[in-house]
Structure 1
Amino acid sequence: MITVEKLTHQLRTLGLAAGDTVMVHASLRALGPVEGGADGVMAALLASVAPGGTVMAMVSWAHSPYEETLNGKQMSTEEQDAWPAFDPKTAPPEPEYGVLNSALLRVAGVERSNHPDSSMAAVGPHAAYLTHPHPKDDAYGPGSPLERLVNMGGKVLLLGAPLDAVTVLHYAEALADIPNKRRVTYEVPVLDAKGRKVWQQVSEWDSNGILDCYAAEDGMDAVEQIARDYVADGRHREGVTGATKSHLFEAADIVKYGVRCLKNATDSGA
């Protein structure tokens, strides 16, 4: 079992430093046993960017109705009535994104954005700035937490997580000025000013296949392909953390790289 102190040292060796703002994607299974479990990993992350650092993650929502309402799918009145409204103070995170997110939401002073499907959480001096506001439309584009992460020189850490997890590349997809990008619509239940549940339609770029060449169900999407190419070009840092290898990216650099890759893919007709 790795100690919090040892994991902190490994994260610092990888490239995290005091004052950094980092968006983390983690696989605790790949990382192996850590003192204190998920809370211990979170403690190491916060220590690795202390003092003055901020840790952010995409936590989403366990009850997001994205699939149930995608592109015109209809829920029955009974289903809509029974579905909980999103409340960032109490909504459970999406388990698919890992148990570290639950630990993040338990940290004192955590801030969480109010987007039901793409909710972001952060802890640290820049937490409120990163998470608020979060546009309901274009959740990953201009005005989003991802844009603010990039603009403030943030980093992206894959803590044993796979290369298809680099959420900041959805910002590259939103920025890329290329034809035939797909948009999707879906509905989310939110609380209005009086605390009543209302269903709201939102729209964003298709994060599951922004272009035809990246939309095959049995193939890599744009995020994974771009991240693989980026690593192959050696523009990142990597090192051992616990029982696995982790990757560290400069958010602005990988976004710029991603925009260029998307344009090249379109120009070549891939």
Structure 2
Amino acid sequence: MSLELDDFLVACERATAYRARRSGAGYLTRCPAHEDRRPSLSVSEGDRANVVAYCFAGCTFAEILVALQLEPSELRDDETHSRLPRLRLPTRPPEPLPSQDDLTRWQLELLTSHAMERLEELRGWNLDAMVGCELGLDGDRVVFPILDEHLDLVNVLRYQPNPARRWGVKMRALRGRPRELFPPPEFIPDDDTLVLVEGEPDAVTGIALGLRAVGVPGVGTWKPEWTRRLRGRGVALLFDADEDGRRFTARVAPELEGAVRSLSVLDLAELEPGAKDLTEAVLARRARGEK
């Protein structure tokens, strides 16, 4: 596998928080150019191009490159002397972090707008959860401040909660900045059981339910340092009720066994049959008048 294909797959994982899996002679991953719950992007190494990518949902290669912030360039092939399309990762530095004044302004914008009512309708969030997570509003996107284990700001995510208004990726991170557990488990008392869910939005949903929820940034990614940060804690896994979520549970559970104080696995399909994630389960119960 060439370096260019490696770079492309790394960029996809960074944009979608999903690790590509083998499929035939290539790989299958989530497309960064649209809201992709099920992997629909086929990636392989071509005969006359370093990367061949095909989105089954219809996204063009140009749209995928824009979503990945990759730049196409033309390099001469020494053997064939033909012009072959190649890719290179941008050499631009990480995007700057916003100031505390920016974060405060976005938080006030959320508190003083009608967006909070809409977010409760769309996501099941409540005021205490949104304020406790220090969410903000920048335009039509919800701002998630991402802190590391030292509680220093390391990234800012911008999330579009309304499927009708999404184009491209639903969650945008700052270029070159890390994703972390959200909110930091260090915020939560040691005696409380942490409930790990998929994604930052479901973490807010869980907190609104009264759970000590912590969002893992996307299925397919688990850092060894996160196991260290959870050492000695009580942990429950509540990942999405789909093939990817179950595969992720099977991967993370062995990582945590022996490190955490207690470990349990919750099956969302048993808690709310038909729901794919925690938010769908909450909204389904609300529609029936249940809590």
Q: Same fold (TM over 0.5)?
A: no
Q: TM-score with structure 2 length normalisation?
A: 0.25
**Structure (1/2) with the larger helix percentage:** 1
Q: TM-score with structure 1 length normalisation?
A: 0.26
